[in-house]
Amino acid sequence: MSITSPGVLFVVSILAGFIGAMSGMGGGIVLIPALTLFGVNIKHAIAISIVSVIATSSGAASAYVRDGVTNLKVGMFLEMFTILGAIIGATVTLVSSDQPLFIAFGIVLLISWGTLFIRKHHLTNYLLPADRFSRWLELRGAYYDHAEHQEIEYQGRRAWLGGPCMFGAGFIAGLLGIGAGALKVLILDLAMGLPPKVSTTTSNLIIGVTALAGTSIYIAAGYVDPGLVAPVIVGVVAGAFVGTRLLKRLSNHAIRQFFLVVLLALGVEMILRGLGVIA
């Protein structure tokens, strides 16, 4: 771990936070491959990343929650499932060998990458009739959409399906030290029928608590190295901050496309390393 000087870590983390925000996939998914390229052991990289995920998700969630777009009830119901998944996922990582983690990471990266293309506006009516369980859970909500200049009302549906799926997303988050935001958004969108903005912001809220559940396992196992965590937290948050602000202004998607290619390359690279094709 000698090549990971705090200066290098700091720069890598800024880039990871920046690319994560620009591509909409979060910092961890770039940070972990980057750290392993710099010689950090993958389990340590996962532990460092999951701590930084708490910072980026809480920072982003604070603004979204105050805007009133996040659905707190949906978030708090689903957290029950994600934290259990995260604890089990992190425990599996501790006992696993390194190679399967590389492969799993590469696969999740590629799947998350793929979801960015299938995610289209598939619903125009968010008030479809819901099952009894979802109504009992009070998953109805509304927010003011500033882009469309109107109040959007919606009814969360199929909570019975969303809960178990979220256990899976939490498992991946704990296992690989990432937010797994792409998967969470997909569940909120497709399974529970929430409007895209509600899905994205509510996923962000859930990510922080999920990451904390995983972090506690990595701390207990002694994988959290404060000397490495310190520059990474600052770097990722700074990078994400700049990335988010820049994202609002960019109308052309060329840069975003470029980062998506970077993510694709990272996914393939992780799988090849896991298979032992490249060192």
Partner 1 sequence: MKPKHAPHTDPTPMPARAKLEREARQEHEMELLVGYLLLSGVLLSILLVVTGMAWEYVKTGSLHLNYLIAGMNFFQFLVGDLRAILTPSLIGPRAFVNLAIAALLFTPYIRVVSSMVFFAAAEKNWKYTAFTAFVGVVLTYSLFLR
8 A C-beta contact, residue 264 and residue 41: no
Binding flag, residue 3, partner 1 (CB under 8 A): no
Which tokens is 50 given? 């999951």
**Member of 41, 160, 219, 245 binding partner 1 (CB under 8 A):** 219
**Member of 11, 37, 38, 59 binding partner 1 (CB under 8 A):** 59
Q: For partner 1, which is the closer residue by CB, 116 or 212?
A: 212
- List the beta bridge partners of residue 154: 141
Kindly indicate which of the ranges 26-34, 67-75, 179-187, 261-269 contains the residues binding partner 1, using the contact rule CB under 8 A. 67-75
Helix (H) or strand (E) holding 224: none
Q: For partner 1, which is the closer residue by CB, 126 or 259?
A: 126
Buried b (16+ CB within 10 A) or exposed e, 70-96: bbeebbebbbebbbbbbbbbbbbbeee
Task: Return the beta strands (E) in 102-170 as ranges.
Answer: 140-145, 150-155
Interface residues for partner 1 in 114-153 (CB under 8 A)? 124-126, 136-138, 150, 152-153
In angstroms, the CA 48 to CA 234 distance is 12
Comparing CA positions, the residue from 152, 131, 130 lying closest to residue 143 is 152
- C-beta atoms surrounding 153 within 10 Å: 13
Binding flag, residue 28, partner 1 (CB under 8 A): no
Total binding residues toward partner 1, as defined by CB under 8 A:
54
In angstroms, the CA 55 to CA 49 distance is 10
Sort residue 83 into left (φ over 0), alpha (ψ -120 to 50) or beta.
alpha
- List the beta bridge partners of residue 150: 145
Minimum CB separation of residue 21 from partner 1 in Å reads 15
Q: For partner 1, which is the closer residue by CB, 36 or 215?
A: 215
Binding flag, residue 242, partner 1 (CB under 8 A): no
Minimum CB separation of residue 265 from partner 1 in Å reads 30
Which tokens is 14 given? 């800024």
Minimum CB separation of residue 102 from partner 1 in Å reads 23
Q: For partner 1, which is the closer residue by CB, 18 or 77?
A: 77
Which tokens is 9 given? 């870590």
**Member of 37, 103, 133, 225 binding partner 1 (CB under 8 A):** 225
Q: For partner 1, which is the closer residue by CB, 7 or 276?
A: 7
Interface residues for partner 1 in 157-186 (CB under 8 A)? none
Which positions lie near partner 1, rule CB under 8 A?
5-7, 51, 54-55, 58-59, 61-63, 65-66, 68, 70, 72-73, 76-77, 79-80, 83-84, 87, 124-126, 136-138, 150, 152-153, 208-209, 211-213, 215-217, 219-220, 222, 224-227, 229-231, 233-234, 237
